[in-house]
Amino acid sequence: NFGKYKGMPVAEVLRRDPGYYSWILQGDFTLNTKQMLTKIRIREAGK
């Protein structure tokens, strides 16, 4: 749950705002957070 997308599933956030993924990767987030987002992004791309 991050800011304006609080309560929204991560997969939905990535669909609505693809640039959010880059923002997270470049931001001051834990490696675990970045890895989880990457896994979700890859999973969603395969659908």
Tell me, what's the pLDDT at 4? 86
Which position has the higher pLDDT, 47 or 24? 24
Q: What is the pTM (predicted TM-score) of this model?
A: 0.80
pLDDT tens-digit readout, 6-37: 999 999 999 999 999 999 999 999 999 999 99
pLDDT band of 2, cuts 50, 70, 90? low
**Residue 25 · residue 19 · CB < 8 Å:** no
And the tokens for 24? 């997270």
Backbone angles phi, psi at 14, to 5 degrees: -65, -35
Tell me, what's the pLDDT at 42? 96
Residues in the chain, total: 47
pLDDT band of 3, cuts 50, 70, 90? confident
